[in-house]
Structure 1
Amino acid sequence: MVTLERRTRRRARRTVGACVLTAGCVLASCVPSAAASSHENVSGLCATTPYPPSQSTPPPVLSGPDVWSFVSEPGLHPMGVKVTTNRPGTARGDIFVAPFSADQMIGQTGALINDNAGDPVWFRPLPSTNLQNADFKVQTYYDTRRHRAQPVLTWWQGTLALPPAYTNLPAGAPEPGGCYYIYDQQYRLLKTVFAHHGYYPDEHEFTLTDRGTALFLASKPVPMDLTRYGGPKDGAILNSEVQEVDLATGRLLYSWNALDHVDPADSEEPASNASSSGGVWDAFHVNSVDEGPDGQLLVSFRNMWAIYDVSRPSGDIRWQLGGKKSDFSFGPNADFYWQHDARFRPGNRISMFDDGCCELPDGAPEQQSHGLILNLDFRNHRATAVKTYYHEPPLYSPTQGNTQALPNGNEFIGWGQSPYYSEYAGAGNTEGNGSRNLLYDAKLPGSNISYRAFRNEWIGTPYYPPSVAVRRSGRGSVVYASWNGSTQTRAWQVLAGPNADSLSVVVKRAERSGFETAVRTGSPGPYFQVRALDAAGKVLRASRIVKLSR
């Protein structure tokens, strides 16, 4: 991922820092932050302190119409999204984003689950806008020692090189100190995962396998004389590795090095741009890896305009799609530029998000960003467009984005640097007809973006209790109830009494209304408590007891 790199790469940048993440090291950033959520299980946290910026960043906007604020959870300020389309036929599940901004952040950065109405379901804020999450989604964790599988939340956490605060690496590269998180359904930390060979865990990809392993991307600057490519003599190339580690032990099981197999001379990113990125040339920009049915790897190189099929045993490239040495020709609307999120699909199909812009070389026509599914004819070595997914109004995303296949045949599109996420019926649409088959559309506020966006089914049962707050209202009171991350709560019960040992039910059932429910009661209290109820009226858990201040 490269965020705003075209606009900002020419700004002055400082040299690459000396901090290097090595296998098995303990980072200073692994110390839990005092600003962590009050409900956070902080044992084993990492990347809670941002990589030191070269200049200050604007403070986030934490109030106003585009930011959520809650009485019962005063420390949570997730961004608000505007849902513009919500039609029948969407797939089941909630929406998973990790908002951040290269400018002023609206709300807090972090990992956010929204429902179809745009209301928060779970939010885990980060203590600094210089920390980001990415690739936030639901996966299945296979515990090979206990022989069990369970749904989990996963994401990358760390600092992205976002100018002007970070000018030591190409924009969008991961700074040293990041890691991957795995959380269980109770929102407890199961695992943190690091990279090996001195590489930095990369935000672009983190995939759990049914072998109890994690497959991910990692990157680091490798010193290199770039003069033969048109860059500086004392430069470096931002190299990438595909790595697979055993989750039980952290042991590295497999690695594939981009520089060993791909010629950087084929890059569409001029090496001369290294002079404005700390001397580091982002020739490859590897941004996705997917595992095929035969174990082969599908690896996307954004800055090569190419996708490679890699034999896992030998590491050899079996075929190349796109770029300067493509093994395939392209039918109408099948070519792509600066692509993201290449995935195997059934048959001989692959999908991707085609950014399609910006700053293309002379002669390359700029095209609208869109989801793209291609059929690969291996006999005739030709790629044809099977389905496309465009937006209305048209979007031009310089970076980021993803195309997710949903269980009901729909496609979910995260528009990357364009602040939208959308869902389409599987048939898709064509350029100029972006509203056709659109089932769902939402817009992020301000300059907020999310690297990817997903729709996933998730059941969250927090290990911590619900939250409650109470305010006086006339002769009565208003009780505010929430339970960050609970997907089973359907209603609230309110208890009150003259002291903490003599509470009785004063509101038997108040239907849940969004993240926080305000319940009016005539009881003076002054002691109050709430109970979360499921769909059958069963008590899930009670909050602590609070006292109304007189």
Structure 2
Amino acid sequence: MVFVVFVVLAVPTVGVAMLASPAWGMPSPLPTPSPAAVLASGTVNMFPPPGTVAASPRTNITLRPVTPTSLGTVGVSGSRSGPHSGTVRWSSDGTAAMWVPDAPFAPGETVTVRSDLAVRGASGGESKFTIERIPPTPKPPPSPPASKNLPSGDTQHFITRPDLEPPRLRVVTPPRGTAPGEVFLTPNGSDVQQGPLIVDNDGNVVWDHPLRIGHALDFAVQSYEGKPVLTWFQGTVSPLGFGSGSYVIVDQSYQQIALVAAGNGYFGDVHEFQLTPQNNALFTIYNPVVVDASSVGRSKHQTVLDAIVQEVDVPTGVVLFEWHSLGTIALTESYQPAPKDSTQPYDYVHPNSIGSDSDGNLLVSGRHTFATYKLDRATGALYWRLGGKKNNFVMGSRTSFAWQHDVRNLGGSLFSVFDNGASDAIKTHKSSRGIVLRVNEATRSATLEEQFALPKPILATSQGDFERLANGDYFTGWGSQPEYTEFNPAGHVVFDVKLPVVNANTKLNSYRTYRFEWHGVPRDPPVVVAGASGAGMAVSVSWNGATDVATWQVLGGTGPDALRVLGSQPRKGFETTIMTSSSTPYVAVQAMDASGRVLATSPVVSPS
């Protein structure tokens, strides 16, 4: 696999197609069959669901809810490969059985599953789905403009941690009454170190975790097994903007406690990774398959990216849920032009967020269809489309969104959307913005409650997020634009920071940028470097990931077991240098919290 460096293109002023803002008129009829009808058709869900048109040749078959006593006999056969044998794996709660075939299925064949269970969507005790057709190897896409190296002045350097070289951030609007917490981002572009990064409001590093290989995206604080954790995608990123990798979960001491992989022969994608209260994980998958694209004027053997939502049981890896866009969302619903080369993947949906509605069902954002989809949590059946060519709602003034990201339910009928308003090639709006919509499902209408945009228009042609904070503020990462902003509820900018820009073709960016409260307690001790300075010493200290250090206390003495206090200094940024008036052959530093409690002591070192 090729490891790709993000190169973000500046929004051109010439040669960019202009697409009028969607003027959605009368709403389309609601999708059929309705989720209620699907639920009434049985008591057990199967994944891939009956009727799936592009399942993986390496797919397993999940049945839930079932128990070991109710599962009974399951027979599986392929129309080309014949009968299949397999084994059963159970989810950690014992309510989902995943039948694992001993051999893969054949591309293009129909798989029949026979069971005495009342499977939703089955007919006469049989459930059928189709295996995908495998696409040919595509031609390499055109190379993006050459990335430039980040100037040394835009990179931070530390005496104690020369291995860390995070970008230098420029605070444009100092924080004024912002919400508590640190900023979480994944800088990409140029030759910047790739990896999760936590910084404070001054742009100082709190935790930096450069990767040896690959990219990290969607770096967030979540809860797993009732405790706060950090999560991120780690893997490769295609020039087309989707990923191939897995998901890392680390605890408050920054130790990895789980690595989550997609099931059924797929690879996880960069755009979303959500942990549920049941210790399950929801994420996006982009899977290339061959379909008939004549409906959009392209080949009958066109490579298309099937947008997949999958849920797995983190402890066991058992697949609990799987939804495919193909068979539900037509190619004609996309606003993204289809490539003329049939081997180039047509990314017709581009799913980029998964969230829960107030009733527990799923919300999936499709960037290239200008739509959000509400899916039944149990079956994957489609309730409605908000936006797009088959929009099911009456859209009020200024509610139209395009090329959007990060659709979330804020509680009740309120939804937030990061409205990009542009792609690299097509401009739909004059400025990107964050919007809050009131979506009334009873009247099938949507109205604009609030919108947040910078005073000077900015267009994020890709990526981005819009997050409501606990104090009512909204935090916005501007995606492809090297900036993040916090707005107060009145819409005023109370915090704004910019990442380095090398030139028009190379801007640092972060797929999403969040604000979270985080309490980190590293397992590794503080790092100290001491050197002579006149009659005394310059003692530099850092502790990567520590969030509770208020003061550093320097110890020195004639032996490693004979240390006394030489001085102290409040923590200042990631690395603090303390000057002492005297020199000793042995030095250590203690990290102390605001109450004076010693959190950790560094190893004893000798000044150089």
Q: Normalising by structure 1, report the TM-score.
A: 0.81
CA contact (8 A) 2:223 2:275 kept: yes
Which residue of structure 2 aligns with residue 47 of structure 1?
none
**Structure 2 CA distance for partners of 1:231 and 1:283, relative to 1, 3 Å:** same
- The Cα of 1:524 is off from its aligned counterpart by 2.6
Which residue of structure 2 aligns with residue 291 of structure 1?
356
- The Cα of 1:425 is off from its aligned counterpart by 1.1
Which residue of structure 1 aligns with residue 159 of structure 2?
71
- The Cα of 1:239 is off from its aligned counterpart by 1.3
Q: Report Cα offsets for 1:260-311 as digits up to 9, x if no partner.
A: 3111221111112556xx5211111011111123221111010011111111
CA contact (8 A) 1:238 1:283 kept: yes
- The Cα of 1:526 is off from its aligned counterpart by 2.8
Whole-Å separation in 1 of the counterparts to 2:577 and 2:410: 46
CA contact (8 A) 1:465 1:542 kept: yes
Which of 453, 463, 467 is the matching residue for 1:404? 467
CA contact (8 A) 2:172 2:496 kept: yes
What does 1:87-106 correspond to in 2, within 5 Å? 87-101=175-189, 104-105=190-191
Which of 516, 541, 550 is the matching residue for 1:481? 541
Which residue of structure 1 aligns with residue 243 of structure 2?
174
Please give the secondary structure, in 1, of the residue aligned with 2:320. strand
Mind listing any 5+ residue stretches in structure 1 that lack a counterpart? 11-19, 26-51, 143-148, 163-170, 429-436
What does 1:382-397 correspond to in 2, within 5 Å? 382-397=445-460
Q: Report Cα offsets for 1:98-141 as digits up to 9, x if no partner.
A: 1111xx23x3111011111111111101124xx22111111111
Whole-Å separation in 2 of the counterparts to 1:539 and 1:218: 46
CA contact (8 A) 2:431 2:453 kept: yes
Letter in 1 for 2:193: Q
Which residue of structure 1 aligns with residue 258 of structure 2?
191
Which residue of structure 2 aligns with residue 29 of structure 1?
none
**Structure 2 CA distance for partners of 1:525 and 1:481, relative to 1, 3 Å:** same
CA contact (8 A) 2:246 2:259 kept: yes
Which residue of structure 1 aligns with residue 120 of structure 2?
none
CA contact (8 A) 1:358 1:366 kept: no
Which residue of structure 2 aligns with residue 279 of structure 1?
344
Letter in 2 for 1:186: S
Which residue of structure 2 aligns with residue 83 of structure 1?
171
- The Cα of 1:502 is off from its aligned counterpart by 3.0
Whole-Å separation in 2 of the counterparts to 1:526 and 1:57: 53
Whole-Å separation in 2 of the counterparts to 1:339 and 1:360: 15
The question of 1:223 aligning with 2:290 is answered: yes
Mind listing any 5+ residue stretches in structure 2 that lack a counterpart? 1-5, 16-56, 61-88, 90-99, 101-139, 502-506
Please give the secondary structure, in 1, of the residue aligned with 2:332. helix
The question of 1:512 aligning with 2:571 is answered: yes
Please give the secondary structure, in 2, of the residue aligned with 1:204. coil
Letter in 2 for 1:109: Q
Which of 296, 308, 324 is the matching residue for 1:241? 308
Which residue of structure 1 aligns with residue 207 of structure 2?
122
**Structure 2 CA distance for partners of 1:182 and 1:408, relative to 1, 3 Å:** same
What does 1:358-369 correspond to in 2, within 5 Å? 358=423, 365-369=428-432
Please report the RMSD computed on the Cα atoms of aligned residues, expressed in angstroms. Answer: 2.8
CA contact (8 A) 1:132 1:160 kept: yes
**Structure 2 CA distance for partners of 1:243 and 1:455, relative to 1, 3 Å:** same
The question of 1:200 aligning with 2:267 is answered: yes
- The Cα of 1:54 is off from its aligned counterpart by 10
Please give the secondary structure, in 2, of the residue aligned with 1:480. strand
Which of 233, 240, 258 is the matching residue for 2:325? 258
Whole-Å separation in 2 of the counterparts to 1:56 and 1:463: 41
Letter in 1 for 2:411: P
Q: Normalising by structure 2, report the TM-score.
A: 0.74
The question of 1:532 aligning with 2:532 is answered: no
The question of 1:463 aligning with 2:523 is answered: yes
Taking only the aligned residue pairs, the percentage that are identical comes to 39
CA contact (8 A) 1:3 1:399 kept: no
- The Cα of 1:503 is off from its aligned counterpart by 2.7
Which residue of structure 2 aligns with residue 326 of structure 1?
391
The question of 1:307 aligning with 2:372 is answered: yes
- The Cα of 1:367 is off from its aligned counterpart by 2.9
Whole-Å separation in 1 of the counterparts to 2:441 and 2:7: 34
Please give the secondary structure, in 2, of the residue aligned with 1:493. strand
Whole-Å separation in 2 of the counterparts to 1:61 and 1:72: 24
CA contact (8 A) 2:293 2:331 kept: no
**Structure 2 CA distance for partners of 1:229 and 1:337, relative to 1, 3 Å:** same
Letter in 2 for 1:140: S
**Structure 2 CA distance for partners of 1:193 and 1:396, relative to 1, 3 Å:** same
- The Cα of 1:256 is off from its aligned counterpart by 1.0
Whole-Å separation in 2 of the counterparts to 1:83 and 1:21: 49
The question of 1:110 aligning with 2:199 is answered: no
- The Cα of 1:381 is off from its aligned counterpart by 2.8
Letter in 2 for 1:545: V
- The Cα of 1:320 is off from its aligned counterpart by 0.8
Please give the secondary structure, in 2, of the residue aligned with 1:100. coil
- The Cα of 1:4 is off from its aligned counterpart by 4.7
CA contact (8 A) 1:232 1:272 kept: no
Which residue of structure 2 aligns with residue 493 of structure 1?
553
- The Cα of 1:470 is off from its aligned counterpart by 1.5
What does 1:35-74 correspond to in 2, within 5 Å? 61=149, 64-74=152-162
Letter in 1 for 2:306: N
Which of 232, 238, 247 is the matching residue for 1:161? 238
Letter in 2 for 1:141: Y
Please give the secondary structure, in 2, of the residue aligned with 1:386. strand
Whole-Å separation in 1 of the counterparts to 2:10 and 2:409: 29
- The Cα of 1:330 is off from its aligned counterpart by 2.1
Whole-Å separation in 2 of the counterparts to 1:22 and 1:454: 35
Mean Cα deviation higher: 118-127 or 373-382: 373-382
**Structure 2 CA distance for partners of 1:380 and 1:292, relative to 1, 3 Å:** closer
Whole-Å separation in 2 of the counterparts to 1:322 and 1:239: 20
Letter in 2 for 1:534: D
Letter in 1 for 2:216: N
**Structure 2 CA distance for partners of 1:6 and 1:81, relative to 1, 3 Å:** closer
CA contact (8 A) 1:274 1:282 kept: no
Please give the secondary structure, in 2, of the residue aligned with 1:547. coil
CA contact (8 A) 1:21 1:200 kept: no
Which residue of structure 2 aligns with residue 423 of structure 1?
486
Q: Report Cα offsets for 1:368-387 as digits up to 9, x if no partner.
A: 10001111233443321110
Which of 219, 223, 242 is the matching residue for 1:140? 223
Letter in 2 for 1:449: N
Letter in 2 for 1:264: L
Which residue of structure 1 aligns with residue 73 of structure 2?
none
- The Cα of 1:312 is off from its aligned counterpart by 2.2
